[in-house]
Amino acid sequence: NSEDVRCKCICPPYKDHSGHIYNKNVSQKDCDCLHVVEPMPVPGPDVEAYCLRCECKYEERSSVTIKVSSV
């Protein structure tokens, strides 16, 4: 399979938690904080506020192109 797909969520610092980048192979429809951020670093009541701060992007890339260009 030459296509790599992933969802990348960039979450800034929140309360006493440092910022973090999460990557996960999920479908485009599941590319959101709730599906990608594992383990969730905040307790239940803070999940919504934490997730609203995260920026999630669905990415597709060709690993063949990356391998060829990095040789």
Give this prediction's pTM: 0.79
Q: According to the model, what pLDDT value does residue 65 have?
A: 59
Instruction: Please tell me the distance from the alpha carbon of residue 71 to that of residue 64, in angstroms, as a whole number.
Output: 11
Question: Mean pLDDT by 10-residue block, N- to C-terminus, for the chain (71 residues)?
Answer: 80 96 95 97 97 96 63 57
Instruction: Please tell me the distance from the alpha carbon of residue 71 to that of residue 69, in angstroms, as a whole number.
Output: 6
- 63, with CB counted inside 10 A (0-12, 13-18, 19+), is exposed
Q: According to the model, what pLDDT value does residue 1 have?
A: 45
